[in-house]
Amino acid sequence: MEYLIKSAVPATEIAPSSGPSDELFSAGEKSPIAALAPSLAQRAQAGSRGALDEGAAQASAFAIVGEGAGDVEAREALLDRAMGPKRRKKSSEKLRRGRRPSEGLAFVARDPSGAIVGTVRLWDVRLGEGGPAALLLGPLAVEPGLKSGGIGSALMHHAIAEAARLGHGAIVLVGDAPYYGRFGFAADRTGSLAMPGPYERHRLLALELKEGALDGAMGTIKAAGRKIKGHALGFAA
């Protein structure tokens, strides 16, 4: 599945995925295009305005693939840079803690060197006690210096398309309506739903992937995903 980003830079390459995959490049193998461009993540952290601008200008040179087991450390570091330490205190975390992402719905964006510059996951939830199944989207994060490069939008389009392809009925999230509205999310179907912790009601948004999937949905959203076994802490956020 491919998406074209309207921009002055080349179109983004998006690799199809059916779930957490092996890493984009096998152990010890470097990307064949790695020598052509330094890591965009490194550019974004370089500290100079020129480096940030140059990195953002090339931000469309990325691939979206299924998240791999070896991505945990880099992904957690990206989330810390993009969202800060308070990210683990959000109400959405109550629905993710101790769970694995929904099967086939964890993705990362890689720059030409293979570095992770974006991430998104979707999680299985229930809309109220005994209510219909749905997905919780988040966190969505992009390397701070590359936010204008279309990475976040590409991750959203890919995640929504894959969720629909896998047969899910609806997606909910907590976020800014002006941003997520462009992907079809709105608060008009979530008035009878609640998060299991502090949140701003107007930021609880939903998207129906199947018509009527949110009909009658009410109550507190509950975790329903696969539980983590052992010490797989990388799936905690």
Residue 63: pLDDT band with limits 50, 70, 90: very high
pLDDT at residue number 142: 96
Residue 159 is inside which H or E element, if any?
helix 151-165
Average pLDDT rounded to a whole number, residues 81-110: 89
d(CA 66, CA 119): 10
| Bigger pLDDT: 202 vs 33 | 202
Residue 133 is inside which H or E element, if any?
strand 133-137
**Average predicted confidence (pLDDT) for the chain:** 78
The 10s digit of each residue's pLDDT in 129-158 is 989 999 999 999 999 999 888 999 999 999
pLDDT at residue number 90: 81
What is the longest distance spanned by two Cα atoms in the chain? Answer: 54
pLDDT at residue number 91: 78
Average pLDDT rounded to a whole number, residues 93-113: 95
What proportion of the chain, given as a percentage, has pLDDT over 70? 71
Predicted confidence (pLDDT) at residue 186 exceeds the cutoff of 70: yes
Out of 3.40.47.10, 3.40.630.30, 1.10.3720.10, 3.30.70.20, the CATH code matching 13-224 is 3.40.630.30
Burial classification of residue 7, based on how many CB atoms lie within 10 Å of its CB (0-12 exposed, 13-18 middle, 19 or more buried): middle
Peptide bond into 139 cis (omega under 30): yes
- Work out whether strand 170-174 and strand 133-137 pair parallel, antiparallel, or are unpaired: parallel
Average pLDDT rounded to a whole number, residues 178-197: 96
* Three-state secondary structure readout of 11-41: CCEECCCCCCCCCCCCCCCCCCCHHHCCCHH
| Local structure of residue 100 (DSSP, 8 states) | P
CB distance 29 to 113 below 8 Å:
no
pTM attached to this predicted model: 0.75
